[in-house]
Every structure is written in C-alpha cells, then in structure tokens.
Amino acid sequence: MAMQITTGTSELRDITKMERIGAHSHIHGLGLDDRLEPRANAQGLVGQAKARKAAGMILRMVQEGRIAGRAILFAGPPSTGKTAIAMGMAQSLGSDVPFTTIAASEVFSLSMSKTEALTQAFRRSIGVRIKEETELIEGEVVEIQIDRSLTGATKTGKLTIKTTDMETIYDLGMKMIEALTKEKVLAGDVIAIDKTSGKVSKLGRSFARSRDYDAMGADTKFVQCPEGEIQKRKEVVHTVSLHEIDVINSRTQGFLALFAGDTGEIGPELRNQINTKVGEWREEGKAEIIPGVLFIDEVHMLDIECFSFLNRALESELAPLVIMASNRGMSRIRGTKFRSPHGLPVDLLDRVLIVSTKPYTPEDIQQIIEIRCQEEDTQLTSEAITVLTTMATQTTLRYALNLISTAQIIAKKRKAEKVDVEDLRRAYTYFMDEKRSVQWLKEQQGTLVFDEIKQGDGDDDPMAG
C-alpha cells in the first residue's frame, strides 16, 4: 500500500518557541571555553566542573553526529545541578537539533500506555532535516489594484509584477489580497510569494523608486529589481521531528492534534511506513537524520517494563542520545523486589556512562544565589546573601533559591529596596524545608491522612551527603 507521507511543514514553520522564567532560566549554556574547559562562572553555571566538562564532551559528539543510541546518567544528591547541566546542554545544541525533556513520572500519567509515551518521546528527539523545492513568484510590484464588490463583502484584484526582463499580471483572490495588505505591500516593493503556502514576504524597496518618496523610515532596505523569470524554483530547508511526521500523518488525528497535545496512540504500521519513507528520502538526498537528545529526569521513577523498553529502543537505528538523571543511591527498581544502584537495572546501567555531581562548596552556592538574584531582579544586602548561603548549606540549594522571591515580597511590604536578613528569616518561618517538614509530620502523626508503608518496602534513600 503506497501511502502519501507529508511533513506538513508549511503549517508548522511559523510556530515559535515560548520562553519563560523558571528554575533554570538563568542558564544559557555549559560555560565552557573552546577547549571544553569549564569556566568558573559562565553562562549561568557555577562550579561542578567535572560534570560540565563531561557534558561538553558528550555534546561535541552529538554535534558531530557520532553518538546515537547511547545513554548517559547524571547521578548525585538532590540540588546538585543535574537538571541544570542538562538544560545547559540543551541551550548549546544547534537550533534544529531536537532536545526533549520528560520527567519519568509523566510516563504514567498520560492517557496512553507507558511504552507509547516513551516511543513518542524518542521520536520527538529525532529530527529530519528536509530539503524541499518550492515555487516562488519574485519581482517588483508595479501596481496593485483592488476592486470591492458593491456590498464590500468580497474583493477581487490584480497584481502587476515585473523583473528587469518581463512583466506579468496576476488575478488576486481574497486570501492573496489579505496577505498583501497584512504585509503593507505597495507599488515599488520587491516581494516574494511562496506558491504552495501563499506566504508573502517583502524583500525591500526597489532602487528605482528610491527618489519617489521623501518620507521614508531610516530602516528602509533598498534592493535591485530582480532579473530573469518571475516564477522561480528555490530550495528551502526545514527540520521536523519524527513524532511530528507521525502525528500529521495519523489519519485519526491530523496536524491539529499537535497543538492540542492530544495525540493518542499511533499505530506501529504507520511508524514503519514513515521510517521506510524517511529512509528513502535519505537515500535520495532529500532528507537528513539529526539524532537529538532525550532527557529523562528522575529516571528512577520508571519501572522495569519501561527500563526494558529503553534497553531495546536504544538499539534501534533511529535512536537519540538518552540522558538520564537520578538522585537515588542503592534503591529498589520499581516493579521488582530487587535493589540496584541508582534504581536502574544492571543491564541498563551496563550501557550508560555515569557522570556524578557533587554537593557545592559555600563559595559556589553564594555565586549561584547571586546569579539567581539578578535573574529574579531582586537585591539582597550582603549580610542577607551570607545568611542565605548558610541556609542553603543546611537545607538544600533549591530551597534557598525559592526563598529569594518570597523574601522579596516580604521586603516589598515594608517598602524596602533590598531584601535583608529579617525578610529571609520571616520567609524561613513561613515556608518549611524538607527536614523541618518531616519533623513536623512526625509531631502531627495521627492527625493527617497517612499511607502506611510496610517495613522493607521503602525504596527511598536519596544519596544525601
């Protein structure tokens, strides 16, 4: 059965990524120099030199396309920058190398099987760079004439466009008129129209018209009137992920499902067809595979079925680099009675490279706090910074960083410009850290709803300290 596989790129091309301020928004890269040596404090990252260097080496291999189907494990106590370093790696990859992040527990909460959720995550992390020829109409606008119907409800029109060698008149429909109006196209503009998508782009104003108007913005760009044919073929390159191709071609969903995020399960037959097709494109030189990165945070939350899926998926030809993070020491593998390092089965551990992260020194912590203050636009007095650093060493870095914004609100209430020790102290009493919370829970025993855990069933021993 020959099925038409499309990539739906003209619909997808205009979607831009959203940025937000979050726990890791101060991180802009790994902060390494050309020789992959970590700078003490760069691109938002501080200390943790060995792990950052290791991350940089892995990244270099990904960029050279030499590594796929491999797995890395960041192992270390909570708040030692495992997620932060992974985000730094994501920032340093090229814009069209896919980087997908999932938290292992997400796999259980989606409305699909665990293995389907993982398969989708894998396929999101493989890019397909596609070369396509499109037809363009390119030339200098001589005249745009728009006729309204008597009621004004419909419009028709004519576009006269020329190159140095020829001139043609095109009939315009409603859609084209709208597109031209939106771009504010006037006579004298040099424009390009993508014939398949109907997208209009303004390339600049024609030199020939440079003296026509004297009221022109300083940023007006002048270009030559194009030569030759008005209709041209041009090669465009864009990247989509295998998962996007899956969804667009799944007959029940269509590409709108990409926006709803509600993609449901996708059949293996379709995936096989797509793999075959992409393979063909690759042989014909029309497409290139870009193995990206899949980051699975808190990987010890996966269970044995997921782990064996991972093992198998890593062997497949179209596998991304898989980066995992775990804060467990020896702990139980979910879905089994066995204990294993980091909560990962030994056969999986066998194929991963392990990078460990270590607790920070007070100097590192202080620098991270200062970076976060800048990111959150908050000023701390120098005493407050010292106190917060001490708090971080006694609780966790993450807890201390969370206090910055709460203390700022308290400081604002007393109309102070800078957060002082007293504000931190009050924030500290309002919000508990984990240790105090555990203590409190013990004191409250019996008054809260509890889940009794049988002795010996516990699997939680974070590698604290």
- Span of 98-106, 131-139, 283-291, 396-404 interacting with ligand ADP by CB under 6 A: 396-404
Instruction: Tell me if 397 contacts ligand ADP by CB under 6 A.
Output: yes
Contact at 8 Å (CB) between 168 and 161? yes
Q: Residue 301 CB, nearest distance to ligand ADP (Å)?
A: 13
Binding partner selected for residue 421 from ligand ADP, Mg ion, none, CB under the kind-specific 5 to 8 Å limit: none
Give the total residue count for the chain: 465
Instruction: Give me the least distance between CB of 298 and Mg ion, in Å please.
Output: 7
- Pick the closer one to Mg ion by CB: 318 or 323: 323
Nearest residue to 324 (alpha-carbon basis) of 339, 307, 308, 336: 307
Pick left, alpha or beta for residue 127 (phi over 0 → left; psi -120 to 50 → alpha; otherwise beta). Answer: beta
Strands 126-148 and 287-291: antiparallel
Return all residues near 297 (Cβ < 8 A) that are at least 6 apart. 82, 83, 86, 101, 102, 103, 104, 324, 325
Q: Which stretch binds ligand ADP (CB under 6 A): 45-53, 146-154, 268-276, 440-448?
A: 45-53
Number of residues that bind ligand ADP (CB under 6 A): 22
Partner whose binding site includes residue 80, from Mg ion, ligand ADP, none (CB under 5 to 8 Å by kind): ligand ADP
Residue 283 C-beta: closest distance to ligand ADP, Å: 41
Integer Cα distance of 56 and 37 in angstroms? 9
Smallest distance from ligand ADP to CB 62, Å: 20
89 binds ligand ADP (CB under 6 A): no
Which stretches of 149-253 are assigned E, i.e. beta strand?
155-162, 167-172, 189-194, 200-206, 222-223, 231-241
Interacting residue ranges for Mg ion, rule: CB under 5 A: 83
- Decide: 131 and 148 in contact? Cβ < 8 Å: no
Report the distance separating Cα 132 and Cα 329, nearest Å.
Answer: 50
CA 37, chain centre distance (Å): 25
Among 45, 89, 97, 193, binds ligand ADP (CB under 6 A): 45
Residues 25-44 that bind ligand ADP (CB under 6 A): 27, 44
Question: Which C-beta is closer to Mg ion: that of 76 or that of 345?
Answer: 76
Choices 20-28, 111-119, 246-254, 385-393 (CB under 6 A): range interacting with ligand ADP: 20-28
For ligand ADP, the closer CB: 289 or 369: 369
Q: Considering the complex, state which of residue 55 and residue 136 has its C-beta at the smaller distance from ligand ADP.
A: 55
For residue 368, state whether it binds ligand ADP (rule: CB under 6 A): yes
Q: How far apart are alpha carbons 71 and 345 in whole angstroms?
A: 14
Tokens 């007006």 correspond to what residue? 220
Task: Report the partner that residue 155 touches, choosing among ligand ADP, Mg ion, none (CB closer than 5 to 8 A by kind).
Answer: none
Q: Would you count residue 226 as binding ligand ADP (CB under 6 A)?
A: no
**Six token digits for residue 229:** 């044919």
From first CA to last CA, the distance across the chain in angstroms is 59
3-class SS at 267? coil
Task: Give me Rg for the CA atoms of the chain.
Answer: 29
User: Looking at beta carbons only, is 83 or 395 nearer to Mg ion?
Assistant: 83
User: Quick one: 74 or 309, whose CB is closer to Mg ion?
Assistant: 74
Which of ligand ADP, Mg ion, none sits in contact with 47, Cβ below 5 to 8 A by type?
ligand ADP
79 in contact with ligand ADP (CB under 6 A): yes
Q: Which does 84 bind (CB under 5 to 8 A by kind): ligand ADP, Mg ion, none?
A: ligand ADP
Taken in order 262, 265, 271, 274, the sign of the CA dihedral is negative
CA 163 to chain centre: 42
Give the distance, in angstroms, between the CA of residue 171 and the centroid of all CA atoms in the same chain: 42
> Which residues partner with 236 through β-bridges?
132
Taking the mean position of all CA atoms in its chain, how far away is CA 357? 23
Q: Near ligand ADP by CB under 6 A, which window of 72-80, 205-213, 218-226, 243-251?
A: 72-80
Pick the binder of ligand ADP from 30, 32, 46, 54 (CB under 6 A): 46
Q: Which residues bind ligand ADP (CB under 6 A)?
A: 23-24, 27, 44-48, 78-84, 325, 327, 368, 371, 397-398, 401
